Structure 1
Amino acid sequence: MPNLSDHLFRQARECGGKTALIFEDSAFSFADIAGRVRRVAGGLATIGIGVGTRVGLMMQSRPEFIFHQQALFALGATVSPLNIFYKRNELIHAIDSCDLEVLIIGREFLESLPPADTPSTGSLRCVIVAGLPRESEAGMLVSAERLVEGAAPIAAPVDLFETAICLMLNTSATTGKAKGVMLSIANIRANYDATPEWLGINGSSVILCALPLYNTFGLNQCINALMVTGASMVLMERFDAGKCLDAIEAHRCSFFPAVPTMLQRLFDHPDTYRRDLRSISRIMTGAAPVPAALLERIYAAMGRDTAVMTGYGLTEGTAIVSLEHIQLDANGRVARPKSIGRVLPGMEMRIVTESGQNAAVGEVGEICVRGPNIMQGYYKMPEETAVAIVDGWLRTGDLGMVDKDGHAYIVDRKKEVIIRGGQNIYPADIEEVIYHYPGVSE
């Protein structure tokens, strides 16, 4: 039976001495990571974390995030990576909506913790703090380092059924206020594990990760791609264009997943065109509308040998649903602006009109997707789940259309459409026009 940490331990057996992770001046092999994960898991087990324990993970993009995430997977816990920008009220809502039993946080987030007597956090029994001195332990607070010091490493990951909920991600997505999206091992295996092949990542790739690790973009295309393929990854605590340029040159990074704003800032940097970026062979972007002008600018700087891809996905669909390999026409313009490509193998997509019928070619409607990647539902929210998933089809809340060649296009969010004089006005179209205006950077 499977466990999501299996990939890590397989890499440790097959290529244990290979450098897996580079962070600032530190480097970790797969064997190093596996050893640390065993020890962290042993410590977490001493306080009762095991199969099905709901654990919130609120840490910066540092190696410790990966060690704790993989350790929790190994123990069979349900992991909820939490947005590091959550304010106290948002953290309270996450604890309440997901019934979190344990929090694992960096010391810098102590001020975000709610008071122990907060009514809606009654499920919480322990807060494990990385970097907490022993003398500061009090009440629920436990030092992460002390747990590891006094515990025996686990021998092996626990065996789980494929229906086990291993991730519960917070999202507002299709229906408003943040809620817990339940993803099973089967969901993850159907999507995350196939992503490296779809994106062209393999064991010789060097991934530059400047994404936050708490969302599906960073979880999928950075951590999981690393574990599945046996690649190497350069991890940055936060995005900095200049430091990204340094990392690309120093480590010959070949794959760069980034949101459009990151790419905009990278190619705005005054040093970009003086640096050797030839090692970058693949760029993946998404998670927000990608202006055609930005894509054209990337190709102008990098050359057409660099593969630039955009993807469409959402948390309820585990991660990626469709993928577009950007093509330029003879004039150097994006051939299919706004295209999100074709739906990926094993998944289905259809466009549904307001009347519930399948849309005609070129007709705008709501994007609906179906497949083994679709979430198990929203935690404790059966009514919201029933609204989002109808007859197995996930209603995304995004408006789109499909052309005669099967390429899908995002038009806008359904709730953001402006109706004026009987005409539908899409904010994304307005933004695209503004983006081309001289002097507008973003």
Structure 2
Amino acid sequence: MTEEFHRIRRLPPYVFAEVNQAKAKARAAAEDIVDLGMGNPDSPTPPHIVAKLIEAVQNPSTHGYSASKGIPGLRRALANYYARRFNVQLDPDTEVVATLGSKEGLANLAAAISSPGDTILVPNPSYPIHQFGFIIAGASVRSVPHTPDEAMLQALDRAVRHSVPKPTALIINYPSNPTGLMADLDFYREVVAFAKRHEIFILSDLAYAELYYGSRVPPSILEVPGARDVAVEFTSMSKTYNMAGWRMGFAAGNPRLIAALTRVKSYLDYGAFTPIQVASTAALNGPQDCIEEMRRLYRDRRDVLVKGLKQAGWDVPVPEAGMFVWAEIPERFRHLGSVGFSKLLLARARVAVAPGLGFGEHGDGHVRIAMVENTQRIRQALRGIRAFLQTDNGGPAEAPKLPAELVKE
């Protein structure tokens, strides 16, 4: 019984593990590492949400099993959010289900609608659960371009014509993790028309809906007339309200997909702890000025980070949304790949980032830099990066070498 389990064999090695191990080793040696790798918000949950949690948890009646699909008040609160934010009217009983974070919802819906051999269309690079949720469920993944433009639409057309069997579902994620790209309603209209024409479901990940920095406001695919015939959308409390550890998210849209997810969840969990659901209801229904404060915080961090990287000679794009900078690896380091470059950056600059390979093979020329430290720590990271870029490359023609202790045997 030495053979690995079938579903585990389908998963590649966790590429973030090498950087995480090197980071842990450095910290064990008392080195000060600025961690810009994991997208884990560092700000506290707003006080009024915490206060509602405390109030609810002091009521013994909330200590038992909760509702797997979400308590009614929470589902109504999410429907009200869609109404005021997107002008989309949802039935909280048939078109909304609460999830243990959007990641759990995506994985369980993948299990609900996939059969071994099904083909799923997934942008590459993209957030890992977008493809691996379906791979774990036994489906096959076909990569398409990650850009919300004609290139993706043409790739979708080719995929339908050349995939056997015909694709079952398409994953989209805008604002994107890791790239920060945004889509507009015209693109969503094209995608919805395509999906209807070919009878393909759409799973839209809108976890970063409220993290935007300019005049462009991320729309919902459910704003497109008729989208609910084919689409379901996932949202999350994690980034919007700094509630990552609370594990609260939602799926909304197509009643058939919502029913499938609800049924699978009914066998797997009893829902989030009721006080968390009560506090999440208070977050959605209560004052929203905390969201604008959060945007200002990340906008300031983004500006400091992007300006500092450019001054250090690392030209990176300015993200319009999200909490990451998707940075192409400087040319003289590209032969290392994203894992090797991330480990070198950790060793030389004392800065941890996420290797782009973890988001798909087409991400290997990039690293993802998370804006999850305050501006002072970001400036500290920038000083380390600047010194690294100025002293460690030895000129464009000389390739840097990995530290001996970090070379994989």
Mark yes or no: TM-score above 0.5.
no
TM-score bucket of the superposed structures, by smaller chain: 0.3 to 0.5
- Greater relative contact order: 1 or 2 (C-alpha under 8 angstroms, separation 6 or more)? 2
Q: Output the TM-score relative to the length of structure 2.
A: 0.35
Q: Output the TM-score relative to the length of structure 1.
A: 0.33
Query: Which protein has the bigger helix share?
Result: 2
